[in-house]
Amino acid sequence: MYQKFDVVIVGAGGSGLMAAMQLPNASVAVLTKVYPTRSHTGAAQGGVAAALGNKEEDHWKWHMYDTVKGGDYLVDQTAAEVLAREAIDAVYELEHRGLPFNRTKDGRIDQRRFGGHTRNFGEGPVMRSCYAADRTGHMILQTMYQNAIKNQVRFFNEYLVLDLLINDGRACGVVAMEIRSGEIHTFHAKAVLFATGGYGRAWRVTSNAFACMGDGMAIAYRRGIPLQDMEMYQFHPTGLYKVGVLLSEAARGEGGKLLNGKGEYFMERYMPTMKDLAPRDIVSRCIIQEIKEGRGVKGNGIVGDDYVYLDVRHLGAKTIAEKLPDITDFARNYLGVEPLTEPVPIQPTAHYAMGGIPTDIDGRVVLDADWTPMPGFYAAGEVACVSVHGANRLGTNSLVDLIVFGRRAGKHMAKFIQENDFVPLPSEPEGFSRELVSRLLTSTGGESAANVRSTLQNEMNDKVYVEREEKGLRTALDTIDGLQDAYRRIQLQDKGKNFNTELMEAIELGFLLDCAEATVHGALARQESRGAHFRLDYPKRDDANWLKHTLAYRGSKAHDVRLEYKDVILIDDPIFKPKERKY
């Protein structure tokens, strides 16, 4: 079926919906593979950062400084400035659209502490995170979805986008499969925004929803668009042991502490100033260090199955019930642990992609180190890399990225569609997608998708985790090469058209493999340690050689990856000059 809209937005998470809000006079379609309010944004617990200064003095420049330093200087500083400055207005926009934030006694938006956010350029923690209990993302989605319905945005729920259409160097639409019927649809548009989220499912232990399979990144990558800084993948220190479900940093913001197997609050030893609220990459490494030095708690003896605890017992029942209701329930429901009386077993969990499709500060996708834009193609949110998070994202800085850059992309598209007409579709627009589907439905290769997926997830968890080294990365690369071959032999049991979830999962698995491939290539090449990318064989940051972004391009076939590099944008202000990162 053929449909035509001014703008097609793929993804109904915070970034997609925020963009949709900016297009009141356009015809807008939002395509989403899950029901909009089930997007992963709904799982965000902790809050959204903005220097409102409601609880104590704060400034956007302090926020910018923390973002740049937290990202271990792989941050484009002009983008970080936009993030920190516009965060304030974007949060007020959410408030005015009806988001029920927690309030201070005098009725303003309440704020709390979060890892890495400081006052006066690193002096000590500051209250910057605006929140709605531990359900901030849920509230963002509900509020924005209602606003989108009010604004007549057309939703295509349970449509799986398979391909980006490009003609004459311009994006002009997408092809999607309607999950209910298996029917293929072409959406013709003047502008396309990818807001498809991350790819945490590439790891065995992850905080990410089942839908976080890297779709948008892989679709772009297959069409010759590079992926930037994919080796920069964040492991959140406090995932529930084994299941990976997130216990938000809000628990530590409220005073929760990490405890080792010997009953010591160990973060004080590593980070005397920020303690448990040091940035995530550092806290994750401290946990691994405790475990390596024999102060973890033994799991069931499988390598990597040791853990430490998150202790919130001292916060008391009232604070826990008011500020951390959901995450304490997770501990009860998934592990049978009572956080009021017992410490909760935790381990670092795959959480957030700092890398993704490279964009400029207006959400325009750029194709190379010279910032050449692809007209009509935009990306925002976790799928994008506008490079505000650099090598490590601070907590609460993703939700703000979604609303600031989702909004900017939406506003830019509003202008673009006024100034540009439709370009014709390429010939046989559905060819690639139909072939992808029919190959999977007709294959008799005998390979199981579940097998390919679990091998990938185990390999990534074992070798592309908090600490990396050349040998492990090379092995992981060989494994992924083998899995790309195995993928072509996947055979499905269900050959039907209606709600063929086996087919859908196999398609998504292909996306995941491509994202993992770019991640490992980037990680192997980057011979330094920076932010979330810690190389045991190159433990120091190396600004002389590596203060640059990785661009991974897919070659003519699956295993063939070409890496190029792009300068990091620094501004001329001594306070933002790359320094050693000590807290």
Ligand X SMILES: Cc1cc2nc3c(=O)[nH]c(=O)nc-3n(C[C@H](O)[C@H](O)[C@H](O)COP(=O)(O)OP(=O)(O)OC[C@H]3O[C@@H](n4cnc5c(N)ncnc54)[C@H](O)[C@@H]3O)c2cc1C
Q: Is 61 annotated for ligand binding?
A: no
Query: Cβ 533 to ligand X, closest distance in Å?
Result: 18
Q: Among residues 297 and 327, whose Cβ is nearest to ligand X?
A: 327
Query: Cβ 228 to ligand X, closest distance in Å?
Result: 15
Q: Among residues 187 and 546, whose Cβ is nearest to ligand X?
A: 187
Q: Among residues 320 and 383, whose Cβ is nearest to ligand X?
A: 383
Which residues are bridge partners to 31 per DSSP? Answer: 10, 156
Measured between alpha carbons, how far is residue 190 from residues 41, 52, 178, 193, 340 in Å?
A: 27, 37, 22, 10, 54
Q: Is 448 annotated for ligand binding?
A: no
In the complex, which residues of this chain contact ligand X (CB under 6 A)? 10-16, 31-34, 39-41, 43-48, 136-137, 159-161, 195-198, 207-208, 211-212, 215-216, 246, 248, 352, 381-383, 396-399, 402
Check: CB of residue 371 under 8 Å from CB of residue 231: no
Query: Cβ 236 to ligand X, closest distance in Å?
Result: 8
Q: Is 364 annotated for ligand binding?
A: no
Check: CB of residue 532 under 8 Å from CB of residue 75: no
Strands 170-178 and 159-167, how do they pair?
antiparallel
Q: Among residues 83 and 486, whose Cβ is nearest to ligand X?
A: 83
Query: Cβ 78 to ligand X, closest distance in Å?
Result: 21
Annotated catalytic residue: which of 135, 280, 526, 530? Answer: 280
Q: Among residues 255 and 578, whose Cβ is nearest to ligand X?
A: 255
444, exposed or middle or buried, with CB in 10 Å at 0-12, 13-18, 19+? exposed
Q: Among residues 320 and 473, whose Cβ is nearest to ligand X?
A: 320
Q: Is 40 annotated for ligand binding?
A: yes
Nearest to 190 by CA among 172, 169, 166: 172
- The verdict on whether 280 is a catalytic residue reads yes
Q: Is 356 annotated for ligand binding?
A: no
Question: Three-state SS for 327?
Answer: helix
Query: Cβ 122 to ligand X, closest distance in Å?
Result: 21
Whole-angstrom Cα distance, residue 306 to residue 16? 38
Q: Is 566 annotated for ligand binding?
A: no
- The amino acid at residue 181 is S
Task: Characterize 364-395 residue by residue with b for buried, 16 or more Cβ atoms within 10 angstroms of its Cβ, and e for exposed.
Answer: bbbbeeeeebbbbbbbbbbbbbbbbbbbbbbb
Q: Is 150 annotated for ligand binding?
A: no
Strand ranges, E, within 263-342: 308-311
Whole-angstrom Cα distance, residue 143 to residue 97? 7
> From the CA atom positions of the chain, what is the Rg in Å?
22
513, exposed or middle or buried, with CB in 10 Å at 0-12, 13-18, 19+? buried
Query: Cβ 551 to ligand X, closest distance in Å?
Result: 20
What are the catalytic residues? 280
Residues annotated in a binding site for substrate = 236, 248, 351, 393
Residues annotated in a binding site for FAD = 11-16, 32-47, 215, 382, 398-399
Residues annotated in a binding site = 11-16, 32-47, 215, 236, 248, 351, 382, 393, 398-399
